[in-house]
Amino acid sequence: MSGELSRFLIVALVASLLGGCKGEREHKVLKLAHGLDPNHPVHKGMVYMAERLEVKSDGKLTIDIYPSGQLGSEQQCVELLQIGSLAITKVSASVMESFTRKFKVLGLPYVFRSKDHANKVFDGDIGRELLLGTEEFWIRGLCFYDAGFRSFYTIDKPINSPEDLSGLKIRVMKSITAMEMVKSLGGSPTPISWGELYTALQSGVVDGAENNPPSFHTSHHYEVCKHYSLDEHTLVPDVLIISTKAWKILTEQEKMWLQEAVDESVPVQRKFWDDAVKEALEIVQEAGVTIHRPDKANFAEKVEPLLNSYREDELLGPLMQRIQDVK
């Protein structure tokens, strides 16, 4: 089946699912699709959001969730959303870099002093500015969900200093910022799709990767990689986005219900995330993974030249300063 035909069938499927009724009463249904497992803390946050929306609207506005890539890959979901055939999806903030350069700042290493600092940025004026800055691409951000700190995990060599990355091939997302970060630390960045990474690690195509604890656990990468070094170099959030086409057909009351439900789900999702991190670290250690806690200052110092190059950028430099000024 060709890619175009496959995409057409997906669009047709989603279109056939739009709208609906509950009992005898007509109501609006928003379709939400994403690629995460139903046990993932971000999926659980979206489920909570959908539950709150149904309560707030008294069943007049509801969300049907299709997890695990049922309606296509992350890229396909974004494309479906842009043409209005899908209402809502979840993407990494790194994906949003392709729509506005401002999102690149969220992928820079050690740009946040702590999780609390990051949450204040996401929940404040800067976060709202980023969420509403992609409407010209038919995408409106609804909120940031916690996707945790990303750290290095490797097959047989612990990463206790930047020097340990020298000569290692490290899988990264298809993000220029992520590639620059690994390169600045001395590693060799190797973009590989998430679905192909387990095999790449198993066969030695790459020596390691970087991601958060729940993803390290649920991907089963801990079966191959026996060292997890919590250098916590980046804190790239997930972004819940809605098609502007879907947003515009909602009444003002419906928009209020939806945004309120989204906002209420954010702190709940963060609690889900914290619990998932604790559980993931316990499970991988029981499976034989050694957890390392290197001095982050050494890594932060190594990437300072990279950060300085961004500080000189006319667009990103002032944004980085605004982030640092958040107390």
* pLDDT tens by residue, 235-294: 999 999 999 999 999 999 999 999 999 999 999 999 999 999 999 999 999 999 999 999
The separation between the first and the last C-alpha atoms of the chain, rounded to the nearest angstrom, is: 53
Regarding whether 179 and 294 lie in a shared domain, the answer is yes
What phi and psi, each to the nearest 5 degrees, are found at residue 19? 80, 180
Percent of the chain past pLDDT 70, that is, above it, reads 92
The position carrying tokens 């191959």 is: 224
Q: CA angle at residue 195 from 142 to 2, to 5 degrees?
A: 90
- Of the candidates 53, 31, 36, 21, which has an alpha carbon nearest to the alpha carbon of residue 238? 36
- Of the candidates 194, 202, 191, which has an alpha carbon nearest to the alpha carbon of residue 155? 202
Regarding whether 230 and 185 lie in a shared domain, the answer is yes
DSSP H or E run through 163 = none
8 or 173: which leads in pLDDT? 173
Per DSSP, the chain holds a count of helices (H) and strands (E) of: 13, 13
Regarding whether 292 and 262 lie in a shared domain, the answer is no
181 or 8: which leads in pLDDT? 181
The alpha carbon of residue 68 and the mean position of all alpha carbons in its chain are separated, in whole angstroms, by 15
14 has pLDDT over 50: no
pLDDT digits (tens, 9 = 90+) for 81-122: 999 999 999 999 988 988 999 999 999 999 999 999 999 999
151 has pLDDT over 80: yes
3-state secondary structure (DSSP) of residue 299: helix
In which band, very low, low, confident or very high, does the pLDDT at 25 lie, cut at 50, 70 and 90?
low
* CB distance 71 to 5 below 8 Å: no
Regarding whether 231 and 171 lie in a shared domain, the answer is yes
Regarding whether 241 and 222 lie in a shared domain, the answer is no
Signed CA dihedral, 281, 286, 287, 288: sign only: positive
Regarding whether 315 and 211 lie in a shared domain, the answer is yes
* CB distance 208 to 155 below 8 Å: yes
Tell me, what amino acid is at 9?
L
pLDDT at position 218 is: 87
pLDDT at position 174 is: 82
Token pair belonging to 213: 């604890």
Regarding whether 206 and 299 lie in a shared domain, the answer is yes
Token pair belonging to 304: 């300072």
Q: Sort strands 61-66 and 28-33 into parallel, antiparallel or unpaired.
A: parallel
In which band, very low, low, confident or very high, does the pLDDT at 193 lie, cut at 50, 70 and 90?
confident
What is the domain-level CATH number for residue 16? Answer: 3.40.190.170
Q: What is the rounded average pLDDT for all residues in the chain? A: 92
For 36, what's the count of Cα atoms within 13 Å in the CB-facing half-sphere? 21
CA distances 17 to 65, 78, 152, 179, 230, Å, are 12, 17, 41, 39, 43
* CB distance 155 to 207 below 8 Å: yes
Q: Where in the sequence is the domain holding 62, given as residue range(s)?
A: 3-146+236-277
Angle between the N-to-C axes of helices 176-184 and 304-311, in degrees from 0 to 180, rounded to the nearest 10: 140
pLDDT digits (tens, 9 = 90+) for 261-276: 999 999 999 999 999 9
Regarding whether 123 and 51 lie in a shared domain, the answer is yes
Regarding whether 298 and 154 lie in a shared domain, the answer is yes
The count of structural domains within the chain is: 2
225 has pLDDT over 90: yes
Distant-in-sequence, close-in-space partners of 207: CB < 8 Å, separation ≥ 6: 154, 155, 157, 168, 169, 170
Regarding whether 109 and 8 lie in a shared domain, the answer is yes
pLDDT at position 17 is: 42
23 has pLDDT over 80: no
pLDDT at position 75 is: 85
The position carrying tokens 């806690």 is: 293
Work out the average pLDDT over 177-185.
94
Regarding whether 225 and 190 lie in a shared domain, the answer is yes
- Of the candidates 139, 97, 135, which has an alpha carbon nearest to the alpha carbon of residue 236? 97
Regarding whether 242 and 126 lie in a shared domain, the answer is yes
